[in-house]
Chain A
Amino acid sequence: MILLLALAFSISAKDTPDDGGGSITVNVYNIPEGTARIELSRLEKGDTLFKEAGLISIFKGECEDVSVIDGVEYLYRGKAIAKDTFYIAEIKGFVTSSPQWFNKSRTTVLIFLILFGSVVLTYIQLAKKNPEGLFIRKLPALDAIDEAVGRSTEMGKPVLFVPGLEAITDAGTLASLTILEKVGKKVAEYGSRVIHPNFDPIVMTTAQETLKTAFAEAGRPDAFNKDDVFYLTYEQFGFAAGVDGIMLRERPGAIFLQGYFYAESLILAETGYSIGAIQIAGTNATTQLPFFVAACDYVLLGEEMFAASAYISREPRLLGSIKGSDLAKVVLLFMIGAGVIFGTIAGIAKQGGNPAYMQIFNKMLEFLARGAK
């Protein structure tokens, strides 16, 4: 066997960036032709023997050693093994790992958050000063709440409110509680009844509190029945079966499907349709929107759910936050448009023999996509 200390085959190691420590990233360069595998070994400062530290992928040329201890110095050696020979490369000095206090790959997210937050806060302040200058377009699904609850009351039927299958931590569930408050007030005013089956125990207790307050604000605290907000099950299709059963037995006049739903969305919406109830759906689950659009009378599409509290209360600060979000959307729209135009020009220029624009474009993409990791 011949031992060759090939100059071309080299290895480098550095502390893995943007992590919580305990990791060193090792890279190999100029992998010799015919290499079957690359073995990695490391020497701890003070020791005399190299110990095995895993294998380096030939295709990636990179390996993350996650068995290191922060603050301990290591020397790495890579051994590229071919059919009849092998090559050895070593890093130049010792390397150590350490934890970081800021994840630089999320810089773009931080920049966006600061900008977006500033815009929203500015508009909230402006809205407080000039509440008259705020306009919000009509949302038929929210306007239909009065009609749905009223019709249900006239028919002597209860109202069914399903808050979806997500926990209280989901923004859609929080938005659904806002709509529940409005529905609860209307139900209390009309002297009707709202049935609220739950999938999540925390959502159940929050919904009980929300409805209790809504009934109290409508001047009917006595009409609130805590047992109408009850727990069903934590099984997805068990929940769907339970709600379907309630629909068929109680025959509600109005059904609100508000929150985050999964595959059970159409099972619920179609059963609701079959009993002839007015159905008002709203979800931030984009995959379930087409089902609700097909089966329900009114639908709050994605972001419209988050605008519900502002639309219902007309509170200037809430309206201001919506205007801020809209401005952010306009800026994003322009950025996407500018990116598409610049990317197209860069592509044409590259085909014409000038790759400089494409390089700039790729750098921009790399910077923006870092936060998505």
Chain B
Amino acid sequence: MRRRLPVIIAFGIGFLMLIQYFIPHPRSEEFYNVIVQQWFIIIFAFMYIFALRSFFMHHITKVKRKKEGYIFSAVAMVSVLFMLLSGLITSRGPFFDSLYNYMIAPLQGTMFSLLAFFIASAAFRAFRARNVQATLLLVTATIVMIGRVPIGDYLWRGMPDLVEWIMTVPSMAAMRGIRIGVGLGAVATAMKIMLGIERSYMGGE
């Protein structure tokens, strides 16, 4: 029963959600919006308690054992508590907004900006002409990079059009091929889960 019950729930909810997609009636929409979304929010809220417990347990252990980088763990815990208290005390007022806008947002922006450098280093490795495929990639990437900046148009008027063709024809064709495969794979996975054939998400057989 321990194994069968989750499969029965997965089949029942999965089947109802499948039917719901084809029924525009308000009862069906109500089922989706009220029951399913509210259930999800309730489950998520409870899971967040587990998440916070996990977060604090993980970092408290690191601080206690003075593991490498334990100071970051202490900072992380203090930050979480500080944000939590400032939100509760000020009812998410201007102070809380300032903390978000002037601390979290710039920190996230900083992390995101690293992407530019990582793209450069990854591209440098990927574009080394080791074989025919890599050389093809190098040539195509060079054309696309030059065609995307004004100098491409300056060097040859047809460059932006060539880049557009590369992006909308061969590149898009490959992308759509992968997307079709992903779509079919996702549908087949959903069917396998509903029928109880795929159970590895429950920890295997």
Residues of B with C-beta under 8 A to A309: 192, 198, 200
Contact A201 B189 (CB under 8 A): no
Number of interface residues of A (CB under 8 A): 83
The answer to whether the Cβ of B129 comes within 8 Å of any Cβ in the partner chain is no
Residues of A with C-beta under 8 A to B69: 245, 249
Residues of A with C-beta under 8 A to B51: 198, 201, 204, 231
Give Cα A295–Cα B125 distance, bound, in whole angstroms: 8
Shortest distance from the beta carbon of B138 to any chain A beta carbon, whole Å:
12
Contact B58 A20 (CB under 8 A): no
Contact A227 B122 (CB under 8 A): no
Determine, out of B16-24, B88-96, B145-153, the stretch whose residues face the partner at the interface.
B16-24
Contact A303 B181 (CB under 8 A): yes
The number of residue pairs between A and B whose CB atoms lie closer than 8 Å in the complex comes to 195
Question: Which residues 176-229 of A sit at the B interface, judged by CB distance below 8 A?
Answer: 177-178, 181, 198, 201-202, 204-206, 209-214, 217, 227, 229
Q: Per a CB cutoff under 8 Å, which of B118, B188, B193, B200 touches A270?
A: B118
Give Cα A103–Cα B175 distance, bound, in whole angstroms: 30
Residues of A with C-beta under 8 A to B188: 116, 120, 306, 321-322, 324-325
Shortest distance from the beta carbon of B137 to any chain A beta carbon, whole Å:
9
Q: Per a CB cutoff under 8 Å, which of B57, B114, B179, B187 touches A227?
A: B57
Contact B23 A103 (CB under 8 A): yes
Give Cα A120–Cα B123 distance, bound, in whole angstroms: 40
Q: A101-B25, A227-B61, A245-B69 are in contact. Are A286 and B175 (CB under 8 A)?
A: yes
Determine, out of A28-36, A47-55, A153-161, A234-242, the stretch whose residues face the partner at the interface.
A234-242
Shortest distance from the beta carbon of B192 to any chain A beta carbon, whole Å:
6
What is the chain A residue whose CB lies nearest that of B174? A286
The answer to whether the Cβ of B139 comes within 8 Å of any Cβ in the partner chain is no
Give Cα A325–Cα B183 distance, bound, in whole angstroms: 10
Number of interface residues of B (CB under 8 A): 61
Q: A210-B203, A213-B203 are in contact. Are A237 and B122 (CB under 8 A)?
A: no
The answer to whether the Cβ of B197 comes within 8 Å of any Cβ in the partner chain is yes
The answer to whether the Cβ of A18 comes within 8 Å of any Cβ in the partner chain is yes
Contact A306 B189 (CB under 8 A): yes
Give Cα A240–Cα B118 distance, bound, in whole angstroms: 13
Contact A174 B203 (CB under 8 A): no
Residues of B with C-beta under 8 A to A232: 55
| B46-62 to A contact mask, C-beta < 8 Å, 1/0 | 01101110110110010
The answer to whether the Cβ of A39 comes within 8 Å of any Cβ in the partner chain is no
Contact B190 A235 (CB under 8 A): no
The answer to whether the Cβ of A13 comes within 8 Å of any Cβ in the partner chain is no
The answer to whether the Cβ of B111 comes within 8 Å of any Cβ in the partner chain is yes
Shortest distance from the beta carbon of A244 to any chain B beta carbon, whole Å:
8
| B122-162 to A contact mask, C-beta < 8 Å, 1/0 | 11011000000000000000000000000000000000000
Q: Which residues of B contact A (CB under 8 A)?
A: 18, 21-26, 28-29, 43-44, 47-48, 50-52, 54-55, 57-58, 61, 68-69, 72, 104, 107-108, 111-112, 114-115, 118-119, 121-123, 125-126, 175, 178-182, 184-193, 197-198, 200-204
Beyond the given pairs A202-B43, A204-B50, 12 more chain A to chain B contacts, judged by CB atoms under 8 angstroms and listed by A's residue number, are A18-B24, A177-B201, A178-B198, A202-B44, A209-B202, A240-B111, A249-B69, A273-B122, A284-B185, A294-B123, A294-B126, A302-B181
18 A-B contacts (beta carbon < 8 Å)? A20-B25, A99-B24, A99-B26, A101-B23, A106-B22, A120-B188, A121-B191, A181-B200, A213-B202, A214-B203, A235-B108, A245-B69, A284-B185, A291-B119, A307-B185, A318-B192, A321-B192, A321-B197
